């Protein structure tokens, strides 16, 4: 079994992004900027936001973090987003999820201008996943998975791809990206009967469930490619994926580890979306 080294692939990809940033700066005389809004004190969110800031700066981009208190009113957050939508120095806006319960995620996602929606969660951008050639952005985690497959030379065309999980953030867009590459895609979820019958048929198995070591060797086809999006804590508090990595072992042909697999690619694709947003903004100005 080959372990797919997401960290190394992400580092390669980020070099390419840094070059695009340098080209942008010399062409347009300004530096692309991502603004991240964090509401409340969720400790995991604090780590994610810090990592995004560090990655942006390493790629040569500016990164602002706006911290708002837990009790922030939804209307205050929406006003801040409206202000950033109108600020020409801001190329990408990301509101870190989850939000406090009194704020509607849907309302916040819809408030971000689609041209600055670098998470690709706005319904307009999500809809463009039906017509990928028109899309400026791809959703970061599924796009990162596609990059990992491409990097390893894993041809998706004609393969049975099974996605376990159907969230708007991972499972559903993942299925669309695989379908666009001509995989035969099955999406499973908590109401799927006899899950193992589907997973055992997968040439490519993408796991986005959120349950530690949920998929074991008996649920996997010999030689399957396993992409593990899950980020969980095991019984000892150690980070682990949805796949039981040790149990599956050589039954898989390729597998992503957790940590160090899909995770580093998610931020990498966020950087790619931010520089794409910056180029698109400048091209709109000159009416291209």
Site stretch for ligand NAP (CB under 6 A), options 30-38, 84-92, 145-153, 163-171 = 163-171
Min dist. Cβ of residue 148 to ligand NAP (A): 11
Tokens of 145: 């998975």
Neighbours of 71 (CB within 10 A): 10
Per CB under 6 A, contacts with ligand NAP among 103-162 are 141
User: Is 119 annotated in the active site?
Assistant: yes
Sequence-distant (6+) residues with CB within 8 A of 287 are none
Min dist. Cβ of residue 127 to ligand NAP (A): 19
167 counts as binding ligand NAP under rule CB under 6 A: yes
Distance (Å, whole) CA 201 – CA 162:
8
Distance (Å, whole) CA 218 – CA 142:
26
User: Is 124 annotated in the active site?
Assistant: no
Q: Which x/- pattern, by CB under 6 A, does the window 199-228 give for ligand NAP?
A: ---------xxxx-----------------
Give the closest residue to 59 by CA, choosing from 26, 22, 23, 18. Answer: 18
User: Is 250 annotated in the active site?
Assistant: no
DSSP-derived 3-state class of residue 125: helix
19 counts as binding ligand NAP under rule CB under 6 A: no
* Burial class for 258, CB neighbours closer than 10 Å (0-12, 13-18, 19+): buried
32 counts as binding ligand NAP under rule CB under 6 A: no
Residues that bind ligand NAP (CB under 6 A): 141, 164-167, 169-171, 188-192, 195, 208-211, 229-232, 262-263, 266
Active site residues: 52, 96, 119
């Amino acid at each position: 079994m080959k372990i797919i080294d997401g960290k190394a692939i992400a580092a390669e990809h980020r070099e390419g992004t840094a070059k695009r940033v340098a080209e942008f700066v010399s062409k347009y005389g300004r530096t692309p900027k991502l603004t991240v809004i964090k509401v409340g004190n969720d400790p995991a969110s604090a780590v994610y936001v810090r990592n995004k800031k560090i990655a942006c700066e390493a790629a040569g981009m500016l990164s602002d973090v706006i911290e708002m208190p837990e009790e922030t009113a939804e209307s205050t957050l929406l006003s801040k987003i409206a202000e950033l939508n109108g600020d020409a120095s801001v190329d990408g806006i990301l509101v870190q999820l989850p939000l406090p319960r009194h704020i509607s995620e849907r309302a916040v996602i819809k408030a971000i201008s689609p041209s600055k929606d670098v998470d690709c969660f706005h319904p307009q951008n999500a809809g463009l996943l039906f017509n990928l050639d028109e899309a400026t952005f791809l959703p970061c985690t599924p796009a990162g998975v596609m990059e990992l497959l491409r990097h390893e030379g894993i041809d998706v065309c004609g393969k049975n791809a099974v996605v376990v999980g159907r969230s708007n953030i991972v499972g559903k867009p993942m299925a669309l990206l695989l379908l666009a590459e001509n995989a035969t895609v099955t999406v499973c979820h908590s109401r799927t009967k006899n899950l193992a019958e589907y997973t055992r048929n997968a040439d490519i198995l993408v796991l986005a469930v959120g349950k530690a070591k949920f998929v074991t060797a008996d649920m996997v086809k010999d030689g399957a490619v396993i992409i593990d999006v899950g980020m969980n804590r095991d019984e000892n508090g150690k980070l682990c994926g949805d796949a039981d990595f040790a149990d599956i072992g050589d039954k898989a042909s390729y597998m992503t580890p957790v940590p160090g697999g899909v995770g580093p690619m998610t931020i990498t694709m966020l950087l790619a979306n931010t520089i794409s947003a910056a180029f698109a903004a400048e091209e709109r100005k000159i009416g291209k």
